[in-house]
Chain A
Amino acid sequence: MLNLLQKIRAIVNKTQVFKSIFRHGYPDTDGNRALVMFSNVILHLHPVRVRRGALKIKFTWCLGGLTFLFFILLAITGVVLMFYYVPDTRRAYNDIRDLGTVIYFGSLFRAVHRWSAHAMVFSVWMHMTRVFMTGSYKPPREFNWVVGVILLVTTLVLSWTGYLLPWDQLALWAVTVGSKMAEATPFIGAAGPFGPELGFTAENDMAFALLGGTVVGQSALLRFYVLHCLALPLLMALFIAVHFWRIRKDGFSGPL
C-alpha cells in the first residue's frame, strides 16, 4: 500500500502541472526541504535552518504565531459574517439574530469570530509580555517593538469597533462608555480640559468625529463597520508584514 502511494507520488511529481506549481519534489530530502522555503511565499517567512533552540516552546510559547493565527481565523470568519450583515440600525440586530436561527453554521461562525477576538487580544498581550521578559526588544529590534505596539493598539481598536456591530444593548452602551471618554479628550473634546476654551462643542469635537454625530446612531454604526471590516484590517495586514519582515531580517533573539 505504502509502496503504491510512493509510486503514485513519483509519477505525480514528474507531471508538468506539479512541477509548474511546486518546482521541486516533495520535501522529504534535505535539498527539497530547503527549496520549499524558497519557492513558497508563505513558508518564505521562515529561514531554511533554525538553531535547535528555536524548537523550545518554553521560550516563545508560540504566542506571536498564535496571535497571527487568530487574526487569520478572524479574517476568514469575518468575511463569512459579512455576507449576512448589513450595517443599518434597522436590520443589523436582526441580521445577527438570524445567524443563530436561520443560517447554517451562522452561530458557529459568529462564536469562533468572538472567541478568536478575545483570544487575539489576550495572546497579543501575552506575546508582548514575553518579548519584554526575554529582552527581545533590545537593539537591533527596537523598531519592531514599536511596530508591535501599533499592532496591539490596532487589535484593541478592531475589537472595540466590532463590539458595536451586533447593535444590542451590550454593543450600544459599551461604545457609549468609550465615546464619553473621547468627549473628554484634552484640547479636542467638548468635555475635556481646555476643549471648550478652544471652541470645541458636542458638534465638532473628537467624539463627533468618531461617531459621526452626537450620539451612537446610524453614522456611528457605518463608521465602525467600515473601520472594522476594511480600514483597520488593511492597516493590520500592512504592519504584520513589516513586523514579520523585520523578524526575518534581524533574526530571533536568544536561543532561536
Chain B
Amino acid sequence: MSDKVSDLAQDSSKSGRLASLIKKTAAEKVEPEDTVLVWPNLVYLELICSMVAVAIMLFLSLVSPAPLEELASADTTPNPTKAPWYFLGLQELLVYFDPWLAGMVLPTMIIVGLVLIPYVDPNPRGKGYYTFSERKFSMLGFGFGLALWWVLIVVGVFFRGLDWSWYWPWDDWHYHQPAGAVKLVDLEIILQNLLGLSESPLVTLGRYAITTANLITWVLFLAFYAVGFTVPFLFFRDFYRRLGFVRYNLVMVMFISMMGVPMKIFVRLLADVKYVLVTPWFKI
C-alpha cells in the first residue's frame, strides 16, 4: 500500500509514471515479484480463453439447440413442473418447508449471509491464496452451505419425477410412484400423543389457541437457537473474542439457521414430521 502511494507521489506527471512502469532499472526493482507487461502476456491469455469459451458455446449450441415445448396453456399443468436448474434447490426445499420459507425467507437469508461474509470474518490470514488450515471455520461453514445447495439442485434435477416423487435413474419415469403410506404429522401432535398431554388450550390469543404441546415446540425451537448461541460462547471463548459481540451474533444467527435446514429435512425424513412449529400465521 505504501509502495503504491509513494509510487503515485513520485510520478505525478504522466510521462514520468509511464517511464517508471516501462523501464525496469536497478533502482526501481523494489517490487516483491517480477512483473510482466499486460500486453501481450495477459491480453493474449484472455483472448485465448475467450476463444475457447466461445467455441464451446457454439459447439454446445449446434449439438443441443434450445428446446421449445408446446404453446403455454393455463389448462394443462405439466407434471412435474420444474423451474430452471439453478432454482431447483429452492424448489426442492418446498418439499420440506412452506413457500414463504423456501421461496422467500431462506433465499433472502442466503443473500444477506453472503453480503455479511466479508464483514464478519476478521481473520486476516488466507487472503490471496488457497488455504484450509488457516481459516477452518469459514471454509467449513461456507463449504457446508455450498454443498447443501448443490446437493439440493442435483436431487431436483436428476431424482425428481412425476408428482415431485423420488425417481432413481433406472426407474420408469412414465409411471407414478405408488403413494406412500407415510402420513406426515406435526411435531406438537406427536408430543401430545407421546406425553399424553391435553388437547385443550392453555391460553387463547385471538386465533391462536396455545396448547401445552404447542408451548413445548416453541421451547424446543427457541432452545435450538439458544443452545447454538451459548455453546460456542461458553466453550470457544477465543472464537467469541475474535468476533466480538455484534459479529458473533450475526454469524451465529446465520450459521444456526443454515444448520436448521438439514435438521428439518432429517426430522421430516426420519420421523415423518410435517411442521416443527405451528401458529395460525406461519408454520415451520
Given A43-B39, A49-B21, A153-B111, does the pair A132, B72 have CB atoms closer than 8 Å? Answer: no
A 166-181 binary contact with B (CB < 8 Å = 1; else 0) = 1111111110111011
Q: Is the CB of A168 within 8 A of B72?
A: yes
B 243-275 binary contact with A (CB < 8 Å = 1; else 0) = 000000000000000000000000000000000
A197 to B208, CA, bound (A): 14
Closest to B36 in A: A52
Q: Is the CB of A100 within 8 A of B68?
A: yes
Judged by a CB distance under 8 angstroms, whether B26 is at the interface is: no
User: Is chain A's interface secondary structure helix, strand, loop, or mixed overall?
Assistant: helix
Q: How large is the interface on A (under 10, 10 to 19, 20 to 34, 35 or more residues)?
A: 35 or more
Q: Is the CB of B22 within 8 A of A169?
A: no
Q: Is the CB of A168 within 8 A of B68?
A: yes
How many A-B contacts are there with CB distance less than 8 Å? 248
Within 8 A of B (CB), among A8-62: 27, 30-31, 33-38, 43, 46-55, 57, 62
Q: For B53, give its contact among A69, A132, A192 (CB under 8 Å).
A: A69
Q: How large is the interface on B (under 10, 10 to 19, 20 to 34, 35 or more residues)?
A: 35 or more
A 244-255 binary contact with B (CB < 8 Å = 1; else 0) = 000000011111
A153 to B75, CA, bound (A): 32
Within 8 A of A (CB), among B207-247: none
Given A48-B22, A108-B65, 17 other A-B contacts at CB below 8 A? A34-B22, A50-B35, A51-B31, A51-B33, A51-B35, A51-B36, A54-B42, A65-B50, A93-B68, A137-B117, A138-B121, A167-B72, A168-B72, A170-B69, A180-B99, A184-B99, A194-B282
Identify the B interface with A (CB < 8 A): 4, 18, 21-22, 31-43, 45-46, 49-50, 53-54, 57-58, 60-62, 64-74, 76-78, 81-87, 90-91, 98-100, 102-105, 111, 114-115, 117-119, 121, 123-131, 135, 139, 142, 146, 281-282
